[in-house]
Structure 1
C-alpha cells in the first residue's frame, strides 16, 4: 500500500516538462543521449529522452521507457537481500567474512577476513581495497578502471575480482572509516549465493523484482549479457582518445556491485519501496541509511523551492551515468540515465537543475 498522498482536497503540485529537461541536459558536452522519468506516489508525471541512441546523432531517438544500466544503484538492492536474509535468521550483521566464505581465508584473498563483518561490508567500512580501480579519485570516488574496458568477452568469476584487490593496500582498520569498495559487494553477492544455494540474479528476481513488479529489470551476470531492446549506447575513449562503443561492457565485471539493468519506472519503484520501509524492518534499514561521519553526503542540488530536500543515489562506469533523485518520504523520484562519449569523470551534468525544473517549476 502506498503512503497517503495527503488531504483529498489538496491540489496537486505543479509539474514541469520532463522532455524539456532532457533536451537541456542533452546539450551537455560529452552526453550522447539521456532518458528520464519523474514519479509521484508511484504515478508517472512525465517521461522524456533527448540526444540519440548512437554517437554523432545516429541511431534515432532513445525510447523514453528504454532499459539502461543502473550501475552502483544495484548495491542497495543486493544489500536489501542480505538484510532480508538477516531478518530470516540465515546470518547476522556482525558475522565474520572468514566464517561465511572460508575460501577467502584458505586462498588468502582478503586480509583480516576473520575480523571483517557483514555490517562493515554493507557500509563500506571493511578496509578491503577496491578491485575496480588502482586508486580512487581525490574526492574519494572510484578512479579509472584498472582492467581492459574493451575486453567484452573474458568471463571473470567473482573470486577473480576479489583476487585483483589482494595486492593493494587496505584502506583502514575494520570498521574504522568509510572507503568505497566494489569488492565489498562482490563478497556480499557470494555470501547470498552461498546461503541460498541460488545465483544472485534469481534471488534479486524472486525477492525484489517480482514482488515490486519491476518487470523490465534483470541482473547481467556473464558475457554476452547486455541491455535488451532499443536503448542508448555509451562510449569510452581508447588510448588515442577516440570514443569506442562499450555497449557490450563485460557483464562478469559488474554483477553484485553494478550489474542491474532497469528503467526509470522500475528503479523508482524499488527506491520508493525501500525509502518507505516496505522491504526491511526499521532496525535493519538503518544499517544502510544511518550515514557515517566520513561518508559523502547524498543530498542533491535539486532542492529549495520544492520545500524539502531531495537526495541522490547513482552510479557511473564506462559509457554512462545513472542517478535517481528522491524525496525523504519516498513519494517522489526522478530517475535519469546519460550515455556518454567521454569518461564519466569528464562530464558535468546539472541534473539538480533538471529536477527543480520538473518538481518545482517557476510560476
Structure 2
C-alpha cells in the first residue's frame, strides 16, 4: 500500500560544484518533493539540499493548507523537527559532561534526588545519564499514558507532570535494555536546567542556535504555540476522524520535541555535529546517532514525527552534504509509514542517483 519513489523516475540530475572535491551529482529535488506530496495523507512537502553550507537544490509540492489551498509552502519555511530535537539535547548534555559538570555514570537519583525520594521514577538509583541519552533506562514513555490531548491548548504542564504520567505506565524494559522513550529526554532537560540555572530554550540558543548561525530556529515553550513566519499547516484526526489543524500545539506537553527550524538551520546543526564541532572528541561516540544506511553507507538520517508533520534530515558522515525534508500531514503519524518510505526513497534518488 506504500507509495514509493522510483529512482528511475527521479533520474534527472544536476552537476553541483563542490569546494575542493570535484563534482557531486544530485537528483532532481523538485521532482522528489512532487512524488512525496502524492502519497496519501500528505498535504505539502518541502526539501532543500546543502553542500558545504551552501544551498544547491530545493523543491516544494502540495499545498500550504488542506484541500490544495494556500499555495505552495516556501522551501525556506519553518517546520517542527520533532524528535530531531532530542539529538540537539543530547549534544548539550554531552557538552556538560565535557565541562565536568556531569558524568555519564552519574545515577539519576544523585542528579535529580527527588526522582527517588518521591518515587517519581522506578529504579532511579540504577539508571545512569548514559542510559537516558541512549534510551536504555527502561523508563516508559509518558505519551503511552494517554493523558495528553493533542487539541488541548490551555493546560500548562511542568516537566515533572510528564514524568509522573510515565510512572503510571507499566515498565517494559530493564535498565540497560533499549526502549525508546521520550521521558528520558524530559529528564535530561530537567538536568540541563538544574546544572545551568537556565531554561532549556536559553541553553539551546546559547549553545547551539546562536553559535551555528541558526537564526530562524527556536524552542517552542508556550501552552498554545504557533509556528512563526511562513509555514505549512499540518492536521491531525479528531475523535471522529476529521482532520483538524494543529498549527498550534501545546509545547508544555510536546515541548521536549519542540524545536522549530528550517532546512538551512537544521542542516547547519548536522554539519557541525558530523564534523565534530559540537561534542568533545572523546564523547562523540555517546551521541545516539543512526547508522549510515544510504549511498553506500555514507549518509545517515534522523527523523521526527509529531501531530501534523514528518521531518527527516539526511547527512553525509563527513558533514558536507545535507538533505532536509518536511512533510505536513492530515493523518495520524502512526499511519504515515508510507510517507517515511517515500521520503527515504526521495533521499536515495536525490543524494545517490546513480545507485
**Same structural fold, with TM-score higher than 0.5 when normalized by the shorter chain:** yes
Matches within 5 A, 1:2-81: 8=20, 10-81=21-92
Shift of 1:317: 1.6
8 A contact 1:235–1:319 mirrored in 2 = yes
Matches within 5 A, 1:111-260: 111-134=122-145, 146-175=147-176, 177-256=177-256, 258-260=257-259
Shift of 1:49: 1.2
8 A contact 2:18–2:51 mirrored in 1 = no
Number of aligned residue pairs: give it.
Answer: 336
Q: What SS does the aligned partner of 1:165 have?
A: helix
Compute the TM-score of the two structures, normalised by the length of structure 1.
Answer: 0.88
8 A contact 1:25–1:354 mirrored in 2 = yes
- Residue in 1 that maps onto 2:270: 271
Shift of 1:252: 0.8
Shift of 1:84: 0.6
Shift of 1:64: 0.8
- Greater share of residues in strand: 2
Taking the aligned partners of 2:174 and 2:346, their CA distance within structure 1 comes to 40
8 A contact 1:226–1:251 mirrored in 2 = no
Compute the TM-score of the two structures, normalised by the length of structure 2.
Answer: 0.90
- Residue in 2 that maps onto 1:344: 333
Unaligned ranges ≥5, structure 1: 135-144, 292-296
- Residue in 2 that maps onto 1:313: 302
Taking the aligned partners of 2:18 and 2:77, their CA distance within structure 1 comes to 32
- Residue in 1 that maps onto 2:7: none
Q: Which moved more, 1:185-194 or 1:326-335?
A: 326-335
Taking the aligned partners of 2:332 and 2:107, their CA distance within structure 1 comes to 37
Q: What SS does the aligned partner of 2:25 have?
A: coil
Q: What SS does the aligned partner of 1:272 have?
A: helix
CA distance 1:325–1:98, shift in 2 (3 Å): same
Q: Indicate whether 1:356 and 2:338 are aligned.
A: no
Taking the aligned partners of 1:107 and 1:215, their CA distance within structure 2 comes to 40
Q: CA RMSD in A?
A: 1.9
Q: What SS does the aligned partner of 1:211 have?
A: coil
Unaligned ranges ≥5, structure 2: 1-16
Provide, for residues 21-53 of structure 1, a one-character-per-residue CA deviation record: whole Å limited to 9, x for no partner: 111111111000111111112111112211111
